[in-house]
Structure 1
Amino acid sequence: MKWMYVIFALLAGAMMPVQAGINLRLKGSLGDPVWAATASFAIGTLVLIAYAFATKAPVPSLGMATSAPLWAWTGGALGAFFVFAIIILAGKLGAATMMAWLLAGQFIAALILDHYGLISFNVHTISWQRIAGVFLLIIGATLINRY
């Protein structure tokens, strides 16, 4: 069962540089990365709404929505920043270099979030093996960037 999630993660990860290229092309047509990111989020929102209706997902009540802490509502803003950033980075760095540095940044943040159990994550203590893995990833990003 866990392998299905690993495959799902690999597919989702593979879509990140594809999304960056698509949004970079959209920026070329619309002339601005902010408008390209806005269009991307608008279409994504429509797709999610259609999916929710198609699967008959229950609509959360107002009480459910107000029970979330304020910081839990910042995910959309962070997503908007990420989409905007990949539009800029894809054009400047290329797909491989962009993804290598994005992954390095994600792993560094993930180690900290896991170690301290921040923002709803379970605690997974930092170990030398985890640090070595991130260090190797940074070396890989450096090699991809250089060559």
Structure 2
Amino acid sequence: MNNPTLILLMLCGGMAIAVQPSINARLAQKIGPLESSMVSFGVGTLALLMVVLVTGRGNLRGITTADWWELTGGFLGAFFVTLTIICVPRLGTAAVMATIITGQLVAGALLDHYGLFGLRQLPLTPLRLAGMLLLAGGAALVIRR
């Protein structure tokens, strides 16, 4: 896939991430926050199972060679989804999204700067830092009531 297509797909993914907490929070009103998170992951697991069965080309046996920390993505996802379920009704979707995006950008910049997890190293330049500070300032304005 070319870069414009990937960027468009990521924009759609960002929109999905913005809608998901509100949907999960609504479900949580009926079944509870932890239960809503569990259902969200259960439905996602079933959807991915179908996709893997139809189009998967990988080898799940390779999981036996994975380091322990390479398996923590599911835990981090569950942590994220559960926090959004709890926070969206209290803070609002825009405030939660602004906070999440700021946290993602800071973490992403640190991952890039240090080349963690075997990724390409991209230094934290003054320009990138300025962009992070501007985003954090924008997030503060969105959060402020």
Would you say how many aligned residue pairs link Structure 1 and Structure 2? 144
> Is residue 2:41 matched to residue 1:41?
yes
Please, which of 85, 88, 91 is the counterpart of residue 90 of structure 1? 88
Q: CA separation in 2, counterparts of 1:129 and 1:59?
A: 39
Q: CA separation in 1, counterparts of 2:90 and 2:119?
A: 33
CA deviations 1:62-102 (Å, max 9, x no partner) are: 3x112211100000000000000110111111111110010
1:115-130 → structure 2 map (5 Å cutoff)? 115-130=113-128
Q: CA separation in 1, counterparts of 2:3 and 2:57?
A: 27
Distance 1:59 1:123, change over 3 A: closer
Identity of aligned residues (%): 37
Q: CA separation in 1, counterparts of 2:54 and 2:65?
A: 26
> Is residue 2:14 matched to residue 1:13?
yes
Q: CA separation in 2, counterparts of 1:136 and 1:47?
A: 37
Distance 1:145 1:51, change over 3 A: same
Amino acid at match of 2:5: M
Q: TM-score, normalised by structure 2?
A: 0.95
CA deviations 1:1-49 (Å, max 9, x no partner) are: 211111111100011121011100110110x211100000001000000
Q: CA RMSD in A?
A: 1.1
Amino acid at match of 1:52: V
> Is residue 2:29 matched to residue 1:28?
yes
